[in-house]
Amino acid sequence: MSFHKIIDSRNIKLFTNLGRSKGNYLFDSNGKKYLDMYGNIGSLPVGYNHKRLQELNLESPEIKKLLIHRPALGVNPPIEWKKHVELLYKNYSPGGLDFMYVACGCGSGANENAFKAAFVKFARNNYSEYSMEDRLKTALDNREPGSPNISILSFKKGFHGRTMGCLSTTRSNAWHKINIPAFNWPVAPFPQLKYPLHENEFINFLEEEKCLEETVKILKENKTIAGMIIEPIQAEGGDRHASNDYFIKLRQLALDEDVTFIVDEVQTGVGSTGKLWGHEYWSDDKKYLPDIMTFSKKMQMSGYFCKSEYKTDSPFQTFNTWMGDPFKVILSNEIYKIIADEKLLENSTTTGEYLMRELLELEDKTGKIRNIRGKGLFIAFDCDNSILLKERLIENNINIGTCGKQSIRIRPSLILSKKDVDFFIYKLKKSLL
């Protein structure tokens, strides 16, 4: 029986030879070599077959035990679990978020449980007048007060996952949602900025103010909004940016309205933007920290950091059997060391700036790409037909991603070099002809 008859393979573009792939370069099953500017949809932090990850002692008694078992971490964790989780928190936690939840699965699972945490806090503050007996009884019937009619505010063109709750906040592509029911939760406009940003500051300021005014109106009119979720850069929705000032004002609005502020760092996290977390660009003032920050992709696992007040009333409200993968926690901690030792945040910034300059020069020379935008190595540009350009780039040994019909998304590993950038620009020029 052929492969495509037993599994839905319609998304598969190529099979990767992981044994031959190295650094930013991957080989497919036919031996063709590609510069990987997409990095497994932005989830490959230090490239293929990094020497230090290869040197992890997979034969050590501890790792061998973790690989042959999949412990139920929420109830029966291995004795080594404590030290690994504490190190994970120390390495990755944004200052001021003093609790961590390690989830099972992908970014959707992280966001789903973040929603639950926001809902529990809201109900704790607004439904405490009801007896626990009434709340428990009505919860089983999916009605108030036990199952309250509350919501999460999201933003147009945002993407937060494909599970049922997350789909109610995903607004990037109708194909994610067609034929699938969703909660009728509110949605606010996200600024549609004009590029280049430095030439359109006043126009963009007016656009952001208009969007903020509309968000204020939505929050004032709907007092059942428990939280809002937003990406530091809207990724799947077209790599849409907003100013630091916009995010600060939005965060202040959440504080004023007592609405949980959830920042989705699934795609922007772990160095892609040149900082460990994308929201770190907004302000150094701890006042503007998110209440909850979700992660996945380059973290090699999913979960969230939050303020301790967002612990749920019962651990089983965010419980699953595995609660993550302990080996991936070990892997993530080693990745953090590599990022620090090899100064990959700095590399993300400097190489990203170099790539941006080269793209802007190519725009001036050809006029075939436009709206170049990005932070660090989290970069995108527009063209007339992104699907066609992607196909040409793949023919020319570049693995790349798209967003919609016009945007090309660049998501390389943090080890990308200027030499890699030169090769990419050379192949991009060739593909634009």
Query: Which residues belong to the active site?
Result: 159, 264, 297, 321
Given strand 378-382, what is the order of strands in its sheet?
A: 370-375, 378-382, 407-410, 401-403
Q: How far apart are CA 76 and CA 266, in angstroms?
A: 28
Q: How far apart are CA 350 and CA 419, in angstroms?
A: 13
Paired sense of beta strands 187-188 and 151-155, if any: parallel
Nearest to 111 by CA among 280, 260, 321, 329: 260
Token pair, residue 422, equals 């030169």
Q: How many other β-carbons are positioned within 10 Å of the β-carbon of residue 214?
A: 12
Q: How far apart are CA 303 and CA 168, in angstroms?
A: 19
CA atoms within 13 A on the CB side of 323: 19
Q: How many other β-carbons are positioned within 10 Å of the β-carbon of residue 364?
A: 8
Q: Which residues pair with 379 in a beta bridge?
A: 374, 410
Crossing angle of the two packed helices 326-341 and 61-68, in degrees rounded to 10: 130
Give backbone dihedrals phi and psi of 269, rounded to 5 degrees, phi first.
-80, 165
User: Cβ neighbours of residue 247 under 8 Å, at least 6 residues apart?
Assistant: 230, 232, 279, 282, 288
